Amino acid sequence: MAEAKGLDLIEVAPTAKPPTCKIADFGKYKYELKKKEHEARKNQTVITIKEIQLRPRTEQHDLDVKMRQARGFLLEGDKVKVNLRFYGREMAHQELGFALLQKVISALSDLAIIEANPKMEGKQLFVLLAPDPVKVKEFEKKQAAEGGEKKPTE
């Protein structure tokens, strides 16, 4: 039948019983598949991990600046990895680092969820935060209701 119409016989589902085939132009079929793949890829979001570096003796103002950056990353849909690096004798006071990371987590709790709890790896202490879609939407609604303030990154 396919030869009579000048078309190709395309096997759609070879594992089905009986195997499913359709009569169509193979070039056109490949083109349509490529278009569907392209559309699927266009709707895909790529999540990147942004890093923020801290030290145990980071002062409050510097911490505020870093938190503003982290908020911007979370609002854009990126994950944030907060690294806290210890040098020399700072290793003796790791509790200060954990306290600082808890401060960071509580400051970003209105936008993010903890994906990996604070963990020590060598001389670095880190935590991985991911944007919580529900919290981000609530935050954006609240910002819009307050008069369309700028995002923290602007």
Q: What is the pLDDT of residues 78-103, one digit of tens each?
A: 999 999 999 989 889 899 999 999 99
With respect to residue 153, please indicate whether it lies within any of the assigned structural domains: no
Both tokens of residue 18?
């009986």
Shared domain for 82 and 136, answered yes or no, is yes
Q: Distance between terminal CA atoms of the chain?
A: 64
Q: Are 100 and 56 in contact (CB under 8 A)?
A: yes
With respect to residue 154, please indicate whether it lies within any of the assigned structural domains: no
Q: In the chain, pLDDT over 90 holds for what percent of residues?
A: 42
**How many independent structural domains does the chain possess?**
2
- Confidence class of residue 151 from pLDDT cuts 50, 70 and 90? low
User: How many other CB atoms are found less than 10 A from the CB of residue 126?
Assistant: 20
* Average pLDDT rounded to a whole number, residues 17-44: 89
Shared domain for 20 and 95, answered yes or no, is no
Q: Are 55 and 85 in contact (CB under 8 A)?
A: yes
With respect to residue 78, please indicate whether it lies within any of the assigned structural domains: yes
Q: How far is CA 72 from CA 28, 56, 140, 153, in A?
A: 44, 23, 12, 5
Shared domain for 7 and 81, answered yes or no, is no
* Average pLDDT rounded to a whole number, residues 7-36: 90
With respect to residue 150, please indicate whether it lies within any of the assigned structural domains: no
Shared domain for 127 and 70, answered yes or no, is yes
pTM of the model: 0.65
With respect to residue 62, please indicate whether it lies within any of the assigned structural domains: yes
Task: Say if residue 65's pLDDT is above 60.
Answer: yes
Q: What CATH number does the domain containing 13 carry?
A: 3.10.20.80
pLDDT number for residue 148: 58
pLDDT number for residue 46: 76
- Confidence class of residue 45 from pLDDT cuts 50, 70 and 90? confident
Task: Say if residue 2's pLDDT is above 90.
Answer: no
Average pLDDT of the chain to the nearest whole number: 88
Q: Which residue has the higher pLDDT, 152 or 137?
A: 137
With respect to residue 111, please indicate whether it lies within any of the assigned structural domains: yes
| 20-24 vs 8-13, strand pairing mode | antiparallel
pLDDT number for residue 44: 76
pLDDT number for residue 41: 85
> Domain residues for 98?
49-145
